[in-house]
């Protein structure tokens, strides 16, 4: 479904044409296009990297969170999207992630846990079905079998980490030429149950780490300034990857042993 507009043009640098939208993908348009005097729009268009860094700085007090994490991604060398949805519990320091499979994902794992500095820095897997009789399994997070269907390992999971990678890529790109960006303003996002987010796009140049990526769209929570969604597309608008962090709760009260393997059962 295409969100309704209230009218007014999108703000753009060099007025680039919007990328094609793949079949079945919603055509995101600003619900409330920003006026030229919108401070956020002005700040982003003047210096997109500085604006993102300011968003990152505002998350200094976030020690952890819970969310429903959904992903679609096409790893290098794959021709189709791998999709899954997980309930996630995250701790910033020391880094720890616990994921319970809700839909899709590995047919072998019901739940996974990674806690930096523990379990010999292995990912701990709670198997499903008859495999559960063998007890917990331990795998290197970079093991090819573990990485199958994924672009990034569990060790790089996180809202801050994703935003940091984006900032790094944009800084690299603007060394060669000005960034081509667009400000779509505040819009309702179907993938986040209609939550209103600030939406920005970087397009044109190929991504430094994957030349197939030619555009990145980012959804920012207007209150917390956290990245709650991002989509990577190719030169034809086809989705290479997209990630959504829904029902986000910051600094939840979790049991002290929540990231210990004794609680996996």
43 is a domain residue:
yes
Using alpha carbons, select from 152, 120, 117 the residue that is nearest to residue 136: 120
**Co-location of 151 and 163 in the same domain:** no
pTM of the model: 0.82
Domain count, the chain: 2
**Secondary structure of the chain as H, E, C letters:** CCCCCCCCCCEECCCCCCCCCCCCCCCCCCCECCCCCCHHHHHHHHCHHHHHHHHHHCCCCCCEEEEEEEEEECCCCCCCCEEEEEEEEEECCCCEEEEEEEEECCCCEEEEEEECCCHHHCEEEEECHHHHHHCCEEECCCCHHHHCCCCCCHHHCCHHHHHHHHHHHHHHHCCCCCCEEEEEEEEEEHHHCCEEEEEEEEECCCCCCCCCCCEEEEEECCCCCCEEEEEEECCCCCEEEEEEEEEEEECCCCCCCCCCHHHCC
What local confidence, expressed as pLDDT, does residue 132 receive? Answer: 56
**Co-location of 228 and 168 in the same domain:** yes
**Co-location of 163 and 56 in the same domain:** yes
Question: What is the total residue count of the chain?
Answer: 265
| Non-local CB neighbours of 158 within 8 Å, separated by 6+ positions | 90, 92, 95, 97
236 is a domain residue:
yes
**Co-location of 118 and 162 in the same domain:** no
What local confidence, expressed as pLDDT, does residue 16 receive? Answer: 41
169 is a domain residue:
yes
What local confidence, expressed as pLDDT, does residue 9 receive? Answer: 38
**Co-location of 230 and 211 in the same domain:** yes
87 is a domain residue:
yes
Pairing mode of beta strands 96-104, 239-250: unpaired
The tens-digit pLDDT sequence of the chain (265 residues) is 434 433 343 444 444 444 444 444 444 444 444 455 789 999 999 999 999 999 999 999 999 999 999 999 987 766 788 899 999 999 999 999 999 999 876 666 889 999 999 999 999 999 875 455 568 999 999 988 888 778 889 999 999 999 999 999 999 999 999 999 999 999 999 999 999 999 999 999 999 989 999 999 999 999 999 999 999 999 999 999 999 999 999 999 999 999 999 998 7
6 is a domain residue:
no
| Non-local CB neighbours of 194 within 8 Å, separated by 6+ positions | 188
**Co-location of 140 and 178 in the same domain:** no
Give the domain extent around 127.
Answer: 64-69+78-155+255-263
3 is a domain residue:
no
**Co-location of 199 and 170 in the same domain:** yes
**Co-location of 127 and 238 in the same domain:** no
**Co-location of 89 and 132 in the same domain:** yes
**Co-location of 170 and 203 in the same domain:** yes
4 is a domain residue:
no
């Amino acid at each position: 479904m295409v969100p309704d507009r209230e009218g007014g043009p999108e703000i753009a640098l060099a007025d680039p044409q919007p990328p094609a939208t793949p079949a079945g993908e919603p055509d995101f348009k600003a619900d409330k296009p920003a006026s030229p005097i919108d401070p956020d729009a002005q700040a982003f268009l003047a210096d997109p990297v500085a604006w993102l860094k300011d968003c990152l700085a505002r998350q200094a007090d976030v020690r952890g969170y819970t969310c429903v994490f959904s992903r679609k991604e096409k790893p290098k060398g794959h021709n189709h999207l791998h999709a899954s949805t997980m309930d996630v519990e995250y701790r910033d320091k020391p880094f720890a992630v616990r994921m319970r499979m809700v839909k899709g994902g590995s047919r072998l794992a019901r739940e996974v846990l990674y806690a930096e500095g523990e379990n010999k820095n292995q990912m701990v897997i709670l198997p499903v079905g008859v495999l559960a009789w063998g007890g917990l399994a331990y795998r290197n997070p970079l093991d090819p079998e573990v990485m199958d269907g994924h672009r990034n390992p569990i060790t790089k999971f996180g809202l801050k980490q994703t935003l940091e990678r984006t900032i790094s890529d944009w800084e690299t790109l603007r060394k060669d030429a000005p960034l081509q960006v667009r400000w779509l303003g505040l819009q309702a996002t179907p993938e986040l149950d209609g939550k209103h987010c600030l939406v920005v796009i970087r397009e044109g140049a190929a991504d430094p780490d994957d030349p197939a990526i030619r555009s990145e769209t980012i959804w920012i929570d207007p209150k917390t300034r956290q990245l709650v969604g991002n989509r990577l597309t190719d030169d034809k608008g086809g989705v290479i990857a997209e990630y959504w962090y829904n029902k986000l709760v910051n600094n939840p009260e979790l049991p002290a042993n929540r990231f210990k393997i004794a609680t996996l059962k």
